[in-house]
């Protein structure tokens, strides 16, 4: 395999930050030749840090810019300004060729599994795609058999029988597809996993199962998670630290416990209220304690 940029060195302190985002800005421009160009600022000053092995959650309402942050961090979009430091190296403005060695270290899992996977492909083809791409570009060495074996191992790890690897993804349920998406994300042994509303499209029981799977995987592979969500209640169970976004900026950051019990910013309070309403309604219906 190629050089692992994330190899442990004896000088590393165990809580050094893996990801550090500083003053991130990105705007989109609507319109073309015929219409007036209207800039829409999606991300307008975002700062946060994630230490190794921890889970950081970025929450906010729809349109607060969270997904854009996710895309910038994984360099699916290029930010206009700001720094994105991976182990101290700024990848914000790197060209695609220079980005290649970093790609394997950060992976993203999308909300809607069905759209993030090509319906014409089988489970095997989907999960092995990152391996295929990276070996084609000379970053790793994987031949067909190795790829298949690796895919089988990954499928077992996420709880799906490897006998089904030749099935089209249309044959899997929503929860199973999300597991496959996780398997694919883990293929290149990433250090950082960005989960962009990855649990939002699932029903509650599946959500719980996949959340547990995430915790297991984190323990097994020392993964660092960046969770993006609008559901504060869900995030409170998984995250160590929470950052609240509103209007394209990070307005409040702090440990989970602090944010949940004593929020400062109006946006945080609003999200908390929404989460509480849901929980109390559930409690009222079942007669449990809130």
Partner 1 sequence: MRSKTFLSITGLVGLHLILLCAGFFAPYDPTAQDRELPYAPPTRMHFEDGYGFHFRPFVYAWTTSLDSDQIESYREDRTRRYPVHFFVSGSSYNLLGGYRTTLHLFDVESPGKILLFGADGYGRDEFSRVLFGGQISVAAGISATLIALLTGGLFGIVAGYFGRWVDEVLMGVTELFLSLPWLYFLLGVRAFLPLHLSTLRTFFLLTGVIGLIGWARPARLVRGLVLSSRHRNYVLAARGFGGSDFYLLRRHLLPEVSGLLLTQATLLVPRYIAAEVTLSFFGLGVNEPVPSWGNMLATLQQYNVLVSYGWLLAPACALVVTSVLYSSLADMFHSRLKSYST
Residues 6+ apart with CB under 8 A from 257: none
Residue appearing with tokens 């929450």: 59
Strand partners, 30: 38
Greatest distance between any 2 Cα atoms in the chain = 60
Minimum CB distance to partner 1 smaller for 210 or for 242: 210
Query: Shortest gap between Cβ of 241 and partner 1 (angstroms)?
Result: 24
> Of residues 118, 257, 264, 277, which one binds partner 1 by CB under 8 A?
118
Residues binding partner 1: what is the number (CB under 8 A)?
32
- The answer to the question of residue 171 lying near partner 1 (CB under 8 A) is no
Task: With contacts defined by CB under 8 A, name the span among 45-53, 105-113, 203-211, 228-236 that binds partner 1.
Answer: 105-113
Does position 104 bind partner 1 by CB under 8 A?
Answer: yes
| Whole-number Å distance between alpha carbons of 271 and 69 | 19
| Segment lying near partner 1 (by CB under 8 A), choices 95-103, 208-216, 220-228, 239-247 | 95-103
Q: 189 in the Ramachandran plot: left (φ > 0), alpha (ψ -120 to 50) or beta? A: left
User: Under the criterion CB under 8 A, does residue 26 sit at the interface with partner 1?
Assistant: no
Angle at 212 between CA 8 and CA 124, to 5 degrees: 75
The correct pick among 17, 139, 224, 256 for binding partner 1 (CB under 8 A) is: 139
Cβ pair 248, 65 in contact under 8 A: yes
- The encoded tokens of residue 267 equal 């946006």
Provide the binding-site residues for partner 1, judged by CB under 8 A. 32-34, 74-76, 96, 99-100, 103-104, 107-108, 110, 112, 114-120, 129-130, 133-134, 136-137, 139, 170, 184, 188
């Amino acid at each position: 395999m190629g050089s692992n940029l994330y190899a442990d060195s004896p000088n590393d302190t165990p809580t050094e930050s893996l990801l550090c985002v500083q003053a991130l800005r990105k705007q989109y421009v609507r319109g073309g030749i015929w219409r007036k160009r209207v800039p829409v600022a999606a991300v307008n000053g975002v700062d946060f840090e994630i230490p190794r092995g921890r889970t950081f959650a970025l929450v906010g309402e729809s349109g607060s810019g969270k997904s854009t942050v996710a895309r910038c961090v994984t360099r699916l979009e290029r930010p206009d300004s700001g720094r994105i430091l991976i182990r101290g190296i700024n990848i914000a403005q790197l060209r695609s060729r220079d980005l290649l060695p970093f790609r394997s270290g950060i992976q993203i899992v999308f909300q809607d599994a069905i759209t993030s996977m090509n319906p014409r492909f089988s489970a095997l083809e989907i999960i092995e795609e990152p391996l295929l791409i990276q070996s084609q570009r000379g970053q790793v060495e994987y031949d067909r058999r190795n790829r298949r074996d690796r895919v089988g191992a990954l499928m077992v790890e996420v709880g799906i029988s490897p006998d089904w690897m030749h099935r089209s993804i249309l044959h899997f349920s929503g929860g199973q597809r999300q597991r496959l998406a996780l398997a694919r994300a883990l293929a290149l042994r990433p250090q950082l996993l960005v989960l962009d509303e990855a649990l939002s499209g699932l029903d509650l029981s599946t959500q719980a199962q996949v959340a547990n799977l995430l915790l297991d995987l984190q323990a097994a592979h020392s993964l660092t998670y960046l969770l993006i969500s609008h559901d504060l209640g869900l995030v409170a169970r998984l995250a160590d630290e929470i950052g609240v976004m509103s209007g394209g900026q990070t307005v409040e950051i702090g440990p989970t416990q602090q944010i949940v019990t004593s929020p400062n910013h109006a946006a945080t309070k609003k999200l908390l209220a929404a989460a509480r309403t849901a929980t109390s309604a559930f409690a009222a219906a079942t007669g449990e304690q809130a």
